[in-house]
Amino acid sequence: PEIIYSWVFNEFPSFVAEDSRRFISQETGNLYISKVQTSDVGSYICLVKNTVTNARVLSPPTPLTLRNDGVMGEYEPKIEVHFPYTVTAARGTTVRMECFALGK
């Protein structure tokens, strides 16, 4: 079945909008936020929808807080994705491959 992932920020129906800092992987359902800001602090709930049956499931809330000490540590850039060995696609279909890098 076709699954669509979305995220609610703080309370329904305030959905997270994808932009240059926020991305929702439709492969894994993960929400990625780069350069976290004070305005990102709050509660996040994942919403999964089956487009065939219209069934919806909500995750428990996940709070996002900021560290007060400002220390996150320095680490080298790395790719934070586990790629499949091969990707198979039918001719004429759309293929989406996602890659995320972390670090300084």
pLDDT band with cut points at 50, 70 and 90 for residue 99: confident
Q: What is the pLDDT of residues 68-90, one digit of tens each?
A: 765 656 666 677 667 777 888 88
Mean pLDDT computed over 10-34: 90
**What is the chain's Cα-based Rg?**
16
CA 16 to chain centre: 10
What integer best gives the mean pLDDT of the chain? 84
Residue 8 belongs to domain spanning: 3-102
What is the pTM (predicted TM-score) of this model?
0.70
Inform me whether the pLDDT recorded for 1 exceeds 60.
Answer: no
Count of domains observed in the chain: 1
Which CATH number do you get for residue 27?
Answer: 2.60.40.10
Write out the DSSP string of the chain.
Answer: --EEEEEEESSTT-BPPP-SSEEE-TTT--EEESS--GGG-EEEEEEEEETTT--EEEPPPEEE---SS--------EE-----S-----TT--------EE--
Q: What's residue 8's pLDDT?
A: 96
